[in-house]
Amino acid sequence: MTALSSRIAAFADRWPKLLALTLGLVSATGFAPLNLWPLTFITFAGWMALVARAPRGRRAFGTGWAFGVGHFILGLNWIATAFTYQAAMPAWLGWIAVGLLSLFLAVYPALAAWGAWAITKFVTPAKAGAVGSLTPTAPTLSFILAFAALWALTEWLRSWLFTGFAWNPLSVIAVPYFAAPSRWIGTYGTSGLVFLAAAILLLACYRRRAAALALFGTLFAMWGAATLVQLSDNVDAAVRSKGPADERTAITIVQPNIGQQDKWVGGKADANFAKLARLTGPKDDTPRLILWPEAAIPDYLETGYPSVYYDRSPAEARARLMDLMNPDDLMLLGALKLELDKTGEVVGARNAAMTVHADGTLGPRYDKAHLVPYGEYLPMRPLLSALGLSRLAPGDIDFWPGPGPQTLDLGAFGRVGLQICYEIIFSGQVVDRANRPDFIFNPSNDAWFGAWGPPQHLAQARLRAIEEGLPVVRATPTGISAVIDADGRVLKSLPMHQAGRIDTTLPPPHAPTLFARFGNILPVGFALLLLALAIAFRRRGR
């Protein structure tokens, strides 16, 4: 053992939580926009080694929690930016929110670390020798399999427990070229595979070459098989998409570059609409599907609300949209809908995506189902409002959730699945499986999210495309708007903070993937299989 490794081991024994916190911070640099994914592999390997050295379960839990705090506090730093766009609370409260959220989310990595330690029982003091020796606690295959399984399971739990917050799953660093297995085992199963890939480095460091090669071969074979199936789907899609260009669905995506500081300012409403109108204007006589961002206009397009809520009548609001459309165009845009009680008083609102025909009639509507706590509604409103807290979005009326994933029939433009803003991050919850769409439209408002949030949001949308085998189209006010094919590749995009539009045709969908058919039962089953193998290897080792 070298002097350097002895010093590292001594530091790890004396300051395990500090080292784990540092490793967690560095691990988050693998996510967009930095994309330093090799560092993520290295830091996860180092964290596994720390957990393996833990003499007690309490320390394993503590190092897992410290790693998670660092991992989330850097990866979620964009949340603090959202607090700078409201005046009801001080902006510095945003960093308090990031810290508190990270302290809570860190419980999930902590549980994974403690569970892996508990299952494989690493404590062997009689054989350990001197403190600081790396050899006695060399991680076993049982430990690695258990850790990967529990990481995948805790990511899945994080996606739905307490309304869920699935941002930045580990598998997103594999998009798009190494994420093909998500077609079979989804986001959380692929996170387990990425975890196992990091473990190859750990095994190599401990000179367990046979185990490292075996694990590498297994992962490579799985990735290769998934990639071959994906290539086969590409051939099928290419055959289906052949034909005259005018038979393909033409789309126009508008990105007006309206910042959050200007979005809800009443005096700028007409200027904001003018930006959208200038970029949308009729191009030719080809029927096109026009796609505008989330909450694109402040006007209410439906009738029946108290007059005080209308700046202009619904007829006038729709007429402004009609002026921008060719005779056979169709527009999908984000707008708001109000909910009234029996007395006609407004008691709630819906964050909706509405369909507007060229003649001004309204088509089918989708209401956002997965709302943002503290952003679109204030939990425990009587208590928190008394403490001076409020929603980040303007207004005192909370939004109400819609029924969940739906497919809207757009006639000649096909069938679309809607996911508004961060709904797209929830693996297995974005498509109505009984009525599969041809593509997913993700109108969003990423102007809240600083420099890190929008590229991370885009990366997760790409993962949904791979999982479901469906193209994903994003329209945002400030970027990143994009057209993503069913393999997760960005075909066209508009960068952040740049006004523009995308004129193109929709990419073809693939046949339903295995994940598209069965959903999150597959990653959960895969994680349980890894866990069963871990227990089997442990018993065999005994």
As a whole number of angstroms, the distance between CA 54 and CA 60 comes to 5
Asked about 368 being catalytic, the answer comes back as yes
Orientation angle between helical segments 107-120 and 93-105, nearest 10 degrees:
20
Q: How far is CA 270 from CA 262, 282, 312, 318, 321, in A?
A: 11, 19, 12, 14, 13
Cα angle 165, 153, 454; round to 5: 30
Indicate which residue of 263, 275, 337, 368 is catalytic.
Answer: 368
- Residue 180, token pair as written in the block: 């093909």
- Residue 542, token pair as written in the block: 């005994």
Strands 330-340 and 490-494, by their bridges, are unpaired
Give the sign of the dihedral formed by CA 237, CA 238, CA 239, CA 245.
positive
- Residue 75, token pair as written in the block: 């990866």
Q: Tell which phi-psi region holds residue 169, choosing left (phi > 0), alpha (psi between -120 and 50) or beta.
A: beta
- Residue 383, token pair as written in the block: 């208590």
Give the sign of the dihedral formed by CA 416, CA 417, CA 420, CA 422.
negative
As a whole number of angstroms, the distance between CA 356 and CA 365 comes to 10
Question: What DSSP character marks residue 15?
Answer: S
Indicate which residue of 337, 421, 467, 468 is catalytic.
Answer: 421
Q: How far is CA 69 from CA 2, 141, 328, in A?
A: 31, 26, 52
Helices (H) and strands (E) in the chain, counts: 18, 12
Q: How far is CA 418 from CA 301, 367, 475, in A?
A: 19, 9, 12
- Residue 44, token pair as written in the block: 């996860």
Indicate which residue of 155, 263, 275, 294 is catalytic.
Answer: 294
Q: Tell which phi-psi region holds residue 121, choosing left (phi > 0), alpha (psi between -120 and 50) or beta.
A: left
Residue 295 CB contacts under 8 Å (≥ 6 apart), including other chains: 263, 334, 335, 336, 351, 445
Question: What DSSP character marks residue 95?
Answer: H
AA identity, residue 37 = W
As a whole number of angstroms, the distance between CA 494 and CA 293 comes to 13
Task: Look at residues 149, 219, 238 and name the one whose alpha carbon lies nearest to residue 178.
Answer: 219
Helical residues (DSSP H) of 206-259, grouped into ranges: 209-241
Whole-number CA gyration radius for the chain: 25
Q: How far is CA 109 from CA 20, 136, 158, 183, 459, in A?
A: 11, 24, 10, 25, 22
Task: Look at residues 352, 373, 374 and name the one whose alpha carbon lies nearest to residue 363.
Answer: 352
Asked about 294 being catalytic, the answer comes back as yes
| Catalytic residue IDs | 294, 368, 421
